[in-house]
Amino acid sequence: MQVDSRRHTRTLTPVQHRWFVRRAAEFSPSLRREIAEIGPLTLPERRRRGLSHFLARAVIGQQLSTAVAKSIWRRIEGAAQDGAQSIPGFFRDDNAPALRQCGVSGNKVRALCAIREARELGLLSARRLQRLEVEERSRRLQEIRGVGPWTADMVNIFYFRDPDIWPQGDLAVRKTFMHFVEEANGLNSAQAAALFVPHRSFLALYMWRIVARGER
């Protein structure tokens, strides 16, 4: 089944931002204040280098801090460049030692190779995947070795820019949101997140932004 394109809000309007503020006020004065101060957000555009490139970076970022993941990715790019190879063409078994020297675990090396194989088999056509419902798209992505729910969520939010993804598996999002939900009476995190349907991707963006504000 194809996605209804009317769902694809990629920038919150001032009216939608005020709606977010009102929703947050229903259970958390603190969250209402944070969202009001941050203002409207836009889903980032990260399609420039293609889906296989984005997916590989997302795999590298699994269970790592942003700084560590960026450092490893820079080493991968350098190693590929030294070997005069492109990404994801560099992700082959004979390059596994070089990838390990970049700081990539054995499981992630195998996942990167699986992404390269999926691309070569035509399984990572962004145009075809874009037309699918989110659940089916996520299912197909998770058929690739090393791609789990969190990685699929990152692809859906940042590559396909779907506005209503709630990445429950993201530790920063989950812990930050729970901090605000604790102010509510008789409301769990799933119920609180449901208040923001159909714009939960933006709710996740607010959680990441709040974390970043706290780290300054």
CATH of the domain at 205: 1.10.1670
User: Is 23 in the same domain as 67?
Assistant: no
User: Is 35 in the same domain as 100?
Assistant: no
Nearest Cα to Cα of residue 170 among 192, 149, 195: 149
User: Is 75 in the same domain as 106?
Assistant: yes
Q: From first to last of its 216 residues, what are the pLDDT tens digits of the chain?
A: 333 334 567 899 999 999 999 999 999 999 999 999 999 999 988 888 899 999 999 999 999 888 999 999 999 999 998 878 889 999 999 999 999 999 999 999 999 999 999 999 999 999 999 999 999 999 999 999 999 999 999 999 999 999 999 999 999 999 999 999 998 877 889 999 999 999 999 999 999 999 988 764
Q: Residue 111: which CATH number?
A: 1.10.340.30
Cα R_g (the chain), whole angstroms: 19
Whether 162 and 156 have beta carbons less than 8 Å apart is answered as yes
Distance CA 146, CA 62 (A): 10
User: Is 64 in the same domain as 114?
Assistant: yes
User: Is 74 in the same domain as 147?
Assistant: yes
The pLDDT of residue 187 is 84
Nearest Cα to Cα of residue 201 among 143, 144, 160, 141: 160
User: Is 107 in the same domain as 207?
Assistant: no
User: Is 35 in the same domain as 55?
Assistant: no
Strand partners, 132: 2
CA distances to 11, 29, 56, 68, 128 from 198, rounded to whole Å, are 13, 21, 28, 32, 23
Q: How many domains does the chain have?
A: 2
Q: Which of 111, 139, 159 is the last residue of a domain?
A: 159
The pLDDT of residue 185 is 76
User: Is 77 in the same domain as 40?
Assistant: no
User: Is 104 in the same domain as 171?
Assistant: no
The conformational region for residue 4 under phi > 0 = left, psi -120 to 50 = alpha, else beta, is beta
User: Cα–Cα–Cα angle for 199, 154, 150, nearest 5°?
Assistant: 105
Distance CA 17, CA 21 (A): 6
User: Is 37 in the same domain as 57?
Assistant: no
CA distances to 58, 104, 105, 144 from 62, rounded to whole Å, are 7, 11, 11, 15
Please tell me the number of Cα atoms within 13 Å of 181 on its side-chain side: 18
Nearest Cα to Cα of residue 168 among 143, 144, 138: 138
User: Is 66 in the same domain as 136?
Assistant: yes
Range of the domain at 55: 51-159
User: Is 90 in the same domain as 39?
Assistant: no
Residue 6 CB coordination number (10 Å):
7
Tokens at residue 133, please? Answer: 């419902």
Backbone φ and ψ for 42, nearest 5 degrees, come out as: -125, 140
